[in-house]
Amino acid sequence: MVDKPKQGEVLGIPYNFERPSFGRMLASYWKPGEGMLVKKPFGIGYTLNLANWRSWVALLVVGGLLWQEQKSRSGDDDLDADEDDDGPVEVIVD
């Protein structure tokens, strides 16, 4: 029986199914000489390199967007309550 490779690339997307170790996990998320995206230590695809400042900017932008979404959802509940109290609206068309 042929052993399947545990790491490699398919259509340019890396994969790694070797048993992850704590040291390998830490080393893969903190690579100072690399770019913003690095290969995942386990699984398919790429992940953020936390040693790169661009990754922190991306995390801040995503966090800000999530915060804004949560804030707008709580604000929508207040607007819906106010609209229900106004009653019917008369529209005149000439």
Q: What is the pLDDT of residues 30-83, one digit of tens each?
A: 999 999 999 998 999 999 999 999 999 999 999 999 999 999 988 765 555 555
Q: Are strands 43-44 and 13-16 parallel, antiparallel or unpaired?
A: antiparallel
- Contacts (Cβ under 8 Å, ≥6 apart) of 88: none
Is residue 81 within 8 Å of residue 56, measured between CB atoms? Answer: no
Please give the backbone phi and psi of residue 90, each rounded to the nearest 5 degrees, phi first.
Answer: -95, 130
Token pair of 16 as six digits: 């790694």
Model confidence at 23: pLDDT above 60 = yes
pTM of the model: 0.64
Top pLDDT among 62 and 94 is at: 62
DSSP string, 24-78: HHHHHH--TTS-SEEE-SSEESEEE-TTSHHHHHHHHHHHHHHHHHHHHHHHHHH
**According to the model, what pLDDT value does residue 64 have?**
97
